[in-house]
Amino acid sequence: MPELKQQTSIDTAEAAREARLLQNPDAVSATAGSALAPSIPFTYTLPDTLRIWPWERKISPYYRECQADSVAWLESFKPFSPRAQVAFNKCDFSLVSALCFPESSKFVLRSCCDLMHTFFTLDEFTDPLSVEGVKELCYATMDAIENPEKPRPEGENIIGEIARQFWQRARKASPKACEERFIRAWRTYIASVIQQAERRDHSYICTIEEYMAARRDNIGSDPSFALLEMSLGVDLPHEVMEHPTIVALARDTTDMIVLANDMCSYKKEALTNDADYNAVTVVMYNEKTDVTGGIQWISDIHDEVVDHFLRLREDVMNKTNGFPSWGEEIDRQVELYVDGLGMWIRGHDEWNFGSGRYFGDEGLEIQKTRLVHVHY
């Protein structure tokens, strides 16, 4: 009987995962936060948060080649049903890599694509699980990344082997300090995924401060920024990366990613009754406002973060307000890294509209009009 119960749980999780990928609202359970959403259909307007952003769209020339290789690699594990895999591929997680790491070598861009596929596969696998199930999968990825040469145990969920193969390959291009930062960032990332599951199980809607603190970790930006270092060919010591200005720039970048992501993903999550862990819902709940008010509140905060990032960037470029020089070569690498953070923001924004993840085939039109119509 225990084996039958376990198989039933697995089947239920797989059904819920496929329902989300295929955006079937009738097969996904409603949550506390979804009750805050207005009755569907409704419309909201997305602000142009990057209207003064100095970085322009750029895409890697290796995009299509790395996309094909990385998708084939992921599909070799058969992580989803055929229908769900088609829906997953429409999100085009290789596109976000090509837009956010446009200066990367072909080898590293492939690793960036593999990282995105690892992230989002883990996300799809863990979303329908209990806290204990989430812990099991997250700990498997952590062990795989800490021990990439060790075979995975028989019977383990395939996510462990996906993570192992990704990092076994990617680390070949990583300087030692960068590798250490990636492993540390992954540990923080999975802890936040587990925390999110705990809150989901209790239908808990965070305060705005709690939400941002947790989301900074589980959006996956810090592991991605380690791959950014690899893509730029920089080798920066910990003391440089831990300087308060560099830390603040990375945090600003993360906050912009979170806020933009949640404004764009709100439609998809509202349609699948899964919008409780989204900044729009969190702001609506805590500020006692509606969708329009929530979006405007987030947009205002995003504007403040943009201004702060650009001021800090000036300090790095001009060595002002106490930002030091580490010598010509390290200074050059630091400036490359900060420029890479700026490119990440532009690339992520372009992917929000250019992939099928949040808006299906309507993304490019929504990018022009800024109008989002939520309807079944």
pTM for the predicted model, two decimal places: 0.90
Nearest-angstrom CA–CA distance, 196 and 82: 28
Using a pLDDT cut of 70, give the percent of the chain over it.
90
Mean per-residue pLDDT, 150-168: 98
pLDDT for 27 beyond 50: no
Nearest-angstrom CA–CA distance, 260 and 59: 20
DSSP string, 136-185: HHHHHHHHHHH-TTSPPPTT--THHHHHHHHHHHHGGG--HHHHHHHHHH
Domains, the chain, ranges and CATH? 60-374 (1.10.600.10)
Mean per-residue pLDDT, 314-329: 98
User: pLDDT category, 2, cuts 50, 70, 90?
Assistant: very low
Cis geometry, peptide bond prior to residue 47 (ω within 30 degrees of 0): no
pLDDT in tens, 72-84: 999 999 999 999 9
According to the model, what pLDDT value does residue 205 have?
81
Helix, strand, or coil (residue 216)? helix
Nearest-angstrom CA–CA distance, 120 and 135: 16
According to the model, what pLDDT value does residue 14 have?
62
Using a pLDDT cut of 90, give the percent of the chain over it.
82
pLDDT in tens, 32-91: 444 466 677 789 999 999 999 999 999 999 999 999 999 999 999 999 999 999 999 999
Residues 295, 45: contact at Cβ < 8 Å? yes
- Burial of residue 269 (CB within 10 Å: 0-12, 13-18, 19+) is buried
User: pLDDT category, 31, cuts 50, 70, 90?
Assistant: very low
Helix, strand, or coil (residue 235)? coil
User: pLDDT category, 371, cuts 50, 70, 90?
Assistant: very high
pLDDT in tens, 123-144: 999 988 999 999 999 999 999 9
Q: 318-354 burial string, b = 16+ CB within 10 Å, else e?
A: eeeeebeeeeeebbebbebbbbbbbbbbbbbbbbbbb
Nearest-angstrom CA–CA distance, 25 and 375: 11
